[in-house]
Amino acid sequence: MEQKPIHSADELIRRAVALAGKGRKRTIAVAAAQDVDVIGAVSQAQAEGFLNGVLVGDANLIEKTAGEHSLDIGHLNIVDIKDVTAAAHGAVKMAAEGRADAIMKGFLPTSALLKVVLDKQYGLRGKNTLSHCAVLDIPGYHKLLNLTDGGMVVRPDPEQKYQILENAVLVGRALGLSPVKVAVSAAVDSFSEKVPHIHSDIDYVIPTAKKTLEDIVIQGPITFELATSKRGFEYKDETGLVVGDADIFLMDSIEECNLVAKSLIQFAQAVFAGVIVGAKVPVSLVSRTDTVKNKKASLALACLLADYYDRTKVWK
Amino acid sequence: MEENNNDMVIPDIHSFDQVLHRARQKASGKRTRAAFVVPSDVDMLKAFTKAVGDGLLDPTIIGDEELLKKNADEHGLDLGDSKIIDMNQPDMAVATAAQMAIKGGIDLIVKGRMANDDFLALLFARELAFFSRKKTACHIGVIKPERYPKLLFLTDAGVIIEPDLKQKAALIQNIVEFTGLVGVNCPRVALLAAVEVVYPQMPVTTEAAVLSKMAERKQITGAHVDGPLSFDVAVDMPAAHSKGITDSAVAGQADALVAPNIETANGIYTAMSLYGRAEVAGLIYGGRVPVALGSRSDSMENKYRSIVLGVIAST
């Protein structure tokens, strides 16, 4: 069952296709699907055979949008619910009842969708806070790098930061990583008393992870350079199993993570797969500015994560 | 000004080659008196001797003379007319350079092998008075990503951990002064955030909005200032337009980026240096003289660019 770890966006997509070929194709329910980018992404993923899409939303608008942009939705199921919030409930209910394995955001604000996902009646809450993982395939780096959290928690307290890490480790496991190598972000190389989060990282986040999470290696606080660069490693005489080889870079604010990830997407041609983790099903979102490949990789990641949840019964 | 790239305004000075050209012009009048401290960083030593060879510097080297000569011999480096002050204690070398700067004996410090925070702690020693209490000091990184048609000035990746509103206004002021020295006038300054919407629960966004208003009301002058802007909206015109931001002088065409905190700036700077196929350079601005420094794993070429910037920034 165990497979080689996934180290690139292409491999991520290939693996999702292969999984579908083995009869483990995943179903994604789109909440308020009347959005051209979302319809395009799902229709393409379905055409490539790695997921079943269910478009929950205003059927008229969905068909009109698809028609205007020549998107093939012939193979997609449509559930006609016009009201946006009701459509979100419809999609989330499908996931709660096991008729969908993942949820995708359509034409509604992320916060509005997540409120429904966390609605107690659906029982999809996990024990952790929700967090966003930006899994980047950066040309020049030899593996995928999961930057977190650049989307959900503005300024995590130590407990939230640990939970964000735990969520990210789930993604690492779904990618087949063993061990999962975690670097905790720092502004400067040496221990600086002035960095506000340094004590809580050293006294709480890192020891809690070491104590609680199996099959991980964690090091920090270290800089992005040290976490991802062998060049830095050779130069700085640093030792540690994570230096130059991080799978996860755990950051301290939404700004740090979001901006560093976007700088890599913008100027380093990094391919980006994003997913919201912490609920019992993955929540996928794509944005207008995402490339076709980003969207595909994001959906593939949601499929692999959903499959991992199913295989391991991690939420049972 | 020339316009292209989806209407992005590109300043006349938009590449490191042009910056180097300016530095050469400046040096042809008077070479910059530069002190290189803790010269055991071989790449920085190579960069320094290259700048000496290019006629940019009137050089002094403060450090372990024996080790210096050994390194120079091993790598075939010509120290030129460098005055050497033999001093094998790094702390003393830094203090000596700072005192020379205060007395007006040098125009530029070049940092060799020492951790940035240790180095800064030495320079910030109150009795040294290298930094004035009236002037905010900061790190300014200059980045030329392969996929951006002009230079990007980034602050603060090295000095202020989490600038408050007042400090951010001072950072913008420093950017205005510094870009002016480089030859980029009235820079387009983006105040970076995770989103381009003002959310009360994200203080970075409300501060950025306040600073934008301050600039609009001419409390901050010499720059176009806008924020909050996310990274893509700051530097990518189609992204800015797709988010409905069409009337900003900054969005999609930023010359300068003010990051919300040191981790963010440092992360962007090193991400660009390592993976953006970018030319980068950095210095500490706001002291008695500028301090050229590289990220420790920067290439020799990027360290050379830091020295060139230092030449431009020195008075």
Cross-chain residue pair B194–A232, CB shorter than 8 Å: no
Contact list in A for residue B273 (CB cut-off 8 A) is 225
Residue A310 shares a structural domain with residue A238 = no
Q: How far is the alpha carbon of A23 from chain B, nearest alpha carbon, in Å? A: 38
Looking at residue B6, the DSSP 8-state letter turns out to be T
Residue A104 shares a structural domain with residue A148 = no
For residue B165, count other CB atoms closer than 10 A to its CB. Answer: 14
Residue A178 shares a structural domain with residue A107 = no
Task: List the single best residue of B230, B263, B296, B298 to mutate versus A (max A Cβ within 10 A).
Answer: B263
Q: How far is the alpha carbon of B294 from chain A, nearest alpha carbon, in Å? A: 12
Cross-chain residue pair B271–A265, CB shorter than 8 Å: no
Q: In the structure encoding, which two tokens stand for residue A154, read together? A: 């503005």
- CATH number, residue A107: 3.40.50.10950
pLDDT of residue B117: 83
Show which of residues 31-90 on chain B sit within 8 Å of chain A, judged by CB atoms.
none
Contact list in A for residue B242 (CB cut-off 8 A) is 288-289
Instruction: Sort A2 into a burial class: Cβ within 10 Å, 0-12 / 13-18 / 19+.
Output: exposed
pLDDT of residue B1: 43
Cross-chain residue pair B271–A264, CB shorter than 8 Å: yes
Strands B152-155 and B256-258: parallel
pLDDT of residue A233: 53
Q: Which residue of B has its CA nearest to A251?
A: B263
Is B164 part of the contact surface with chain A (CB cutoff 8 Å)?
A: no
Residue recorded with tokens 């501060």: B207
For residue A257, count other CB atoms closer than 10 A to its CB. Answer: 30
Question: Cα separation of B53 and B105, whole Å?
Answer: 21
Whether residue B152 contacts residue B254, with contact meaning beta carbons closer than 8 Å, is answered with yes
Question: Cα separation of A176 and A172, whole Å?
Answer: 7
B158-173: per-residue pLDDT in tens?
A: 999 999 999 999 999 9
CA A184 to chain CA centroid, Å, is 18
- CATH number, residue A212: 3.40.718.10
Residue A139 shares a structural domain with residue A208 = yes
pLDDT of residue A231: 64
Residues with Cβ within 8 Å of residue A118, at least 6 apart in sequence: A124, A125, A130, A279
Q: Which residue of A has its CA nearest to B199?
A: A154
Q: Which residue of A has its CA nearest to B157?
A: A187
Q: How far is the alpha carbon of A92 from chain B, nearest alpha carbon, in Å? A: 26
Residue A75 shares a structural domain with residue A101 = yes
Of A189, A231, A268, the CB nearest to B276: A268
Q: What range does the domain containing A62 cover?
A: 1-126+279-316
Helix (H, G, I), strand (E, B) or coil at B34: strand
For residue A73, count other CB atoms closer than 10 A to its CB. Answer: 20
Task: List the single best residue of B274, B279, B280, B298 to mutate versus A (max A Cβ within 10 A).
Answer: B274
Residue A189 shares a structural domain with residue A68 = no
pLDDT of residue A157: 96
Residue A177 shares a structural domain with residue A212 = yes
Q: Domains in chain B, ordered, with CATH? A: 31-131+287-315 (3.40.50.10950), 135-286 (3.40.718.10)
Residue A253 has, within 13 A of its CA and on its CB side, a CA count of 24
Show which of residues 108-127 on chain B sit within 8 Å of chain A, judged by CB atoms.
115-118
Residue A219 shares a structural domain with residue A241 = yes
Q: Provide the H-helix boundaries in B107-202.
A: 116-123, 165-182
Q: Which residue of B has its CA nearest to A140?
A: B275
Cross-chain residue pair B275–A139, CB shorter than 8 Å: yes
Chains A–B, number of C-beta pairs less than 8 Å apart: 139
pLDDT of residue B2: 43
Task: List the single best residue of A110, A267, A285 to mutate versus B (max B Cβ within 10 A).
Answer: A267
Q: What percent of the residues of chain A are helix, what percent strand, and what percent coil, each to the nearest 5?
A: 45, 20, 35
Q: Which residue of A has its CA nearest to B264?
A: A256
Whether residue A181 contacts residue A266, with contact meaning beta carbons closer than 8 Å, is answered with no
The neighbouring-strand residues paired with B194 are none
pLDDT tens, per residue, chain A with 316 residues: 457 999 999 999 999 999 999 999 999 999 999 999 999 999 999 999 999 999 999 999 999 999 999 999 988 999 999 999 999 999 999 999 999 999 999 999 999 999 999 999 999 999 999 999 999 999 999 999 999 999 999 999 999 999 999 999 999 999 999 999 999 998 776 666 677 788 899 999 999 999 999 999 999 888 899 899 876 555 455 567 898 999 999 999 999 999 999 999 999 999 999 999 999 999 999 887 888 899 999 999 999 999 999 999 988 7
Of B146, B194, B277, the CB nearest to A258: B194
Contact list in B for residue A196 (CB cut-off 8 A) is 161-162
Cis status of the peptide bond prior to A179, with omega within 30 of 0: yes
Question: Cα separation of A76 and A100, whole Å?
Answer: 13
pLDDT of residue A196: 76
Whether residue B117 contacts residue A192, with contact meaning beta carbons closer than 8 Å, is answered with yes
A3-52: per-residue pLDDT in tens?
A: 799 999 999 999 999 999 999 999 999 999 999 999 999 999 999 999 99
CA B42 to chain CA centroid, Å, is 21
Q: Residue B230 is which amino acid?
A: S
**How many domains is chain A partitioned into structurally?**
2
pLDDT of residue A1: 46
Q: How far is the alpha carbon of A186 from chain B, nearest alpha carbon, in Å? A: 7
Residue A10 shares a structural domain with residue A73 = yes
Mark the ranges of chain B whose per-residue pLDDT is less than 70: 1-6
Residue A197 shares a structural domain with residue A304 = no
Residue A134 shares a structural domain with residue A262 = yes
Cross-chain residue pair A266–B231, CB shorter than 8 Å: yes
Residue A145 shares a structural domain with residue A239 = yes
- Is the ipTM of this structure higher than 0.90? yes
Specify the DSSP element, H or E, that contains A117: helix A110-117
